[in-house]
């Protein structure tokens, strides 16, 4: 594949960023933009090979990442001290056929389907739920996913997956950490998050752990 230069990727005529800014301005959830650095933004956009006309390219190029709901949700951009991962760097050596675009404090992962979940849902978002370890279709694309993060009913989406005082605990996390629960959330003993033992671990550790368990349990 021919690598397109920055001059072809940066779209000044019809940029996607004003659209994303409109969604953020109308947000019903807490949204925090992390600052970008020019060098990281350019490098991340080159690696992603998407134009800034698209919301994804705009997020990668214009932000160091986006934190939603007091840091519960982390949407990947070009990387920042508060979320020290960029979109393509984080996806390196991960599962083929999908693109991880965001994750949450419990190690739930959001991925754009690049073929791993079949051809009919190409470009749609799937969620690897920590309470059942299954990839669940959200039946939306990247743009609608951003709108969902900014203004959707996150309390309903995460019903049963939050505990008393979660806000203070999540606020202590960096964007590169998640919370490991023992007993695990996909076990019967781990259903009540108020009673499990919770510990901050690298988010990469949760990705590995959840995929190892999927393999051991034969979840496809």
Q: How many angstroms separate the most distant Cα atoms in the chain?
A: 55
Instruction: Give pTM, 2 decimals.
Output: 0.97
For residues 181 and 197, the answer to whether their CB atoms sit within 8 Å is: yes
Residue 1 has pLDDT above 80, yes or no: no
pLDDT at 109: 98
pLDDT at 2: 84
pLDDT at 41: 97
Q: Say how far apart CA 122 and CA 112 lie, in whole Å.
A: 8
Residue 185 has pLDDT above 90, yes or no: yes
Helix, strand and coil content of the chain, in percent to the nearest 5, comes to 35, 20, 45
pLDDT at 220: 77
For residue 20, the tally of other CB atoms under 10 A from its CB is 23
Taking residues 191-202, report their average pLDDT.
96
pLDDT in tens, 87-138: 999 999 999 999 999 999 999 999 999 999 999 999 999 999 999 999 999 9
């Amino acid at each position: 594949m021919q690598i397109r230069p920055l001059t072809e990727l940066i779209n000044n005529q019809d940029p996607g960023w004003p659209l994303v800014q409109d969604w953020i301005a109308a947000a019903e959830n807490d949204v925090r933009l992390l600052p970008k650095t020019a060098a990281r933004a350019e490098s991340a956009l080159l690696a992603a090979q998407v134009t800034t006309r698209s919301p994804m390219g705009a997020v990668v190029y214009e932000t160091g990442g986006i934190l939603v709901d007091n840091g519960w949700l982390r949407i990947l951009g070009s990387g920042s001290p508060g979320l020290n991962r960029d979109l393509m760097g984080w996806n390196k050596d991960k599962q083929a056929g999908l693109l991880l675009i965001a994750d949450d404090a419990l190690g739930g992962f959001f991925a754009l389907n690049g073929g791993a979940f079949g051809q009919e849902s190409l470009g749609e978002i799937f969620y690897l739920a920590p309470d059942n370890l299954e990839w669940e279709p959200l039946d939306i694309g990247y743009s609608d996913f951003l709108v969902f993060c900014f203004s959707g009913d996150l309390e309903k989406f995460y019903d049963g997956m939050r505990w008393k005082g979660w806000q203070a605990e999540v606020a202590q996390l960096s964007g590169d950490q998640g919370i490991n629960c023992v007993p695990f959330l996909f076990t019967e003993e781990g259903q009540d998050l108020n009673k499990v033992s919770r510990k901050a671990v690298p988010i990469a550790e949760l990705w590995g752990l959840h995929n190892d368990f999927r393999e051991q349990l034969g979840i496809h």
